[in-house]
């Protein structure tokens, strides 16, 4: 990082506890983390390590028990519900394992929907939806409903929808979990190009070590804590990092 880099995300002393007494579970146990604008960070760890919980907290989908989350300079702890909703709607994009597309809407309509719900004129919303579909290579599939699209195409529609507001931060939770290996590789290559060509900031949860090795940095969680961080910008090849990850998992 240089002095000219800016943080897209800052996390300080983050904790999340579910339940009380004998049912108390500390899902996140005091995490400090920064993500630079234009950085691709992958989060790995065993099931129950807190990966998705961390993503949901940073996305404002859940409230921390303690600690601070700052996205693009906005401190979540200082925002009321309406302001936090606007941050989620306009500054953060979400991609999940499930595509979550509305079956009766075309691809273009699915992508335009968040803009329309935000009050944008429908003509402008569809213009931006077309541009977002172009970014993911689906220019000729905008008039198709989800049932007429392959799994990989549906995930690209979901990705287009997450990008239509040109968010500062894209959060991806197992984005290839419902896809075959070849299609998964295509989605990962697309995510990598978004970072390389458009400086998109991405935080991705994955169980796939090979996909994690395509990121700029890999964070490993265990029992709600960061136990290791590896950089791919320090001269080590992806193959070397992948070998380390596979031996540790």
Residue 45, domain CATH: 3.40.50.300
Domain membership of residue 123 (yes or no) is: no
pLDDT at 249 over 60: no
- Distance between CA 190 and CA 11 in Å, rounded? 27
pLDDT band of residue 22 (cuts 50, 70, 90) is confident
pTM for the whole thing? 0.90
pLDDT band at 241 (very low <50, low <70, confident <90, very high): low
Where residue 44 falls among pLDDT bands split at 50, 70, 90? very high
97 domain-assigned: yes
Percent of the chain with pLDDT over 70: 91
CA distance 229 to 120: 41
Asked whether residue 134 is assigned to any structural domain, the reply reads no
Residue 112 inside a domain? The answer is no
For residue 132, tell me if it sits in a domain: no
131 domain-assigned: no
Give CA–CA dist 169/155, Å, rounded: 18
Give the pLDDT confidence of 57-91 residue by residue, as tens digits: 999 999 999 999 999 999 999 999 999 999 999 99
What is the average per-residue pLDDT within 32-57?
Answer: 96
Q: Looking at residue 243, what is its pLDDT?
A: 65
What CA–CA distance (Å, rounded) separates 127 from 203?
27
Q: What is the number of H-type helices and E-type strands within the chain?
A: 8, 10
pLDDT digits (tens, 9 = 90+) for 172-215: 999 998 899 999 999 999 999 999 999 999 999 999 999 999 99
Is the residue at 82 inside a domain? yes
Cβ-in-10-Å burial (0-12, 13-18, 19+) of 13 comes to exposed
Split at pLDDT 50, 70, 90, the class of 232 is: confident
139 within domain boundaries: no
List Cβ neighbours of 80 (8 Å cut-off, separation of 6 or more).
none
115-161 tens-digit pLDDT: 999 999 999 999 999 999 999 999 999 999 999 999 999 999 999 99
Measured distance between the N- and C-terminal CA atoms of the chain, rounded to whole angstroms: 28
Q: Number of structural domains, the chain? A: 1
Expressed as residue numbers, the domain containing 69 is: 7-102+163-248
């Amino acid at each position: 990082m240089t002095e000219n880099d800016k943080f897209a995300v800052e996390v300080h002393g983050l904790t999340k506890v579910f339940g009380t007494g004998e049912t108390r579970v500390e899902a996140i146990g005091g995490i400090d983390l920064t993500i630079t604008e234009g950085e691709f960070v992958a989060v790995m760890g065993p099931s129950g390590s807190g990966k998705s919980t961390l993503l949901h907290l940073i996305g404002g989908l859940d409230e921390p028990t303690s600690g601070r989350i700052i996205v693009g300079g906005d401190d979540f702890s200082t925002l009321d519900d309406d302001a936090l909703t606007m941050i989620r709607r306009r500054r953060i994009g979400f991609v999940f394992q499930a595509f979550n597309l509305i079956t009766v809407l075309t691809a273009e309509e699915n992508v335009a929907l968040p803009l329309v719900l935000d009050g944008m004129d429908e003509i402008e919303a569809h213009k931006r939806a077309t541009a977002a579909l172009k970014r993911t290579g689906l220019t000729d599939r905008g008039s198709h409903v989800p049932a007429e699209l392959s799994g990989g195409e549906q995930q690209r529609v979901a990705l287009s929808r997450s990008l239509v507001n040109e968010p500062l931060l894209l959060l991806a939770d197992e984005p290839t979990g419902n896809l075959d290996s070849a299609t998964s590789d295509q989605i990962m290559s697309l995510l990598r190009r978004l970072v390389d060509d458009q400086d998109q900031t991405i935080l991705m949860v994955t169980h796939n070590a090979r996909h994690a090795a395509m990121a700029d940095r890999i964070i490993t969680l265990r029992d709600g804590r960061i136990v290791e961080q590896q950089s791919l910008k320090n001269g080590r090849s992806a193959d070397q990092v992948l070998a380390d990850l596979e031996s540790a998992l």
